[in-house]
A and B are shown apart, each in its own frame.
Chain A
Amino acid sequence: MSGMQTINGVASALPRANIDTDQIIPARFMSRSRADGYGSQCFYDLRFTQEGTPRADWPLRHLSEGPTVLVAGENFGCGSSREAAVYALMDFGVKVIIAASFGDIFQSNAGKNGLLTIILPAAHIREIFAMLHVDPEMQISIDLPGQRLCAGEINISFEIDARLKYRLERGLDELSATLELEDCIVAFEAKHLGSSAWRVPLKPEPRPD
């Protein structure tokens, strides 16, 4: 994961609400290993008909790869907890997603992988959709340290969890940071499992063969 400071890139609109993770990456592609890449499967069933021809109603059909900034309808990433939805978007080329709301687990998965999600009020999202309608090549710039977003006339600040911001700016992975707290974990665990013996499952009786 590399560090992130400012992002300036072409934005695209996906003005549909409730795009669930089944639509971002259909379940049938999920047995792939990460190294194989998920980009070409991103939004697959929204991009292509069952016969494999491109769908005329797909809002991003003019793009060969994902936009740097995806501006999406509300509740983006709801549904299944599959992290492959984040892999698919990142491998597709998306670095930032802006929406009025996100599915919780999706948003958490995004943060862990360095995909920035930004929540803006619905009125701003509608304005950005309108601007992108007029200028589909419009750029949006995001200043992560300053927590500001600039899209055409709109120049506003956004919220981000302090720990997530710290990690994203430095490209740190969460696991390594937690392992530095191992002493605290060990001490807590001894007390937690020691005082309530029932918490540790019984070993099953050996099964007769």
Chain B
Amino acid sequence: MIRYIVITLLLLPAASAVQQLLPVIGPLHGARLLIVPLVFLCCAVTVDLPVMLLLAFCAGFLWDAQAVVLPPMESAMASVSLPESLPFGASMPLFALSGALMQGVQPLFRRGNWRISALLTGVVLLVHLAMEFAVLSFLRGGFHLPRATFLQMTSSAGITMLLSPLCFVLLFRIAAACDHPLHPAAGRRRTRVN
């Protein structure tokens, strides 16, 4: 189990690296494949709460290190006001909330029904993006959701969800290699039948 946790932790920086390689999909309302949130959400359903919180901390750390916009250092540019972005660390609780939502279907997942989790990935990802947008709107003052932003969020969540089965397959392989059963309930049921 320790090996599995370590590997899932290492998957997050790997996902962050892959994230840099993926282009924006212009024709799909500028959608992006959100690999870091995807890996986190898929991992979150396979682990217990303490590990999920650890993963949320790491994923939030990486996400904010990439996304936080700081004001320029030069004094000449000091007067330039940038739009408020999420403060460093603000993504961590959002990831934790998304992970908690994913853990809501963990009993089904443990029974071997990972397809529900795969579908839920898209929904939770959309909720995650909506929460991020809501916090940003709160910080900037005034809530206004343009149609283009909504379409971008839904498209991003949709196309990322399509990759979730692949992510689960990868996690099953890793779990098998680490001798860590991801479906203990299913295994117990089989044993009882025998």
Instruction: Tell me if chain B binds chain A.
Output: no
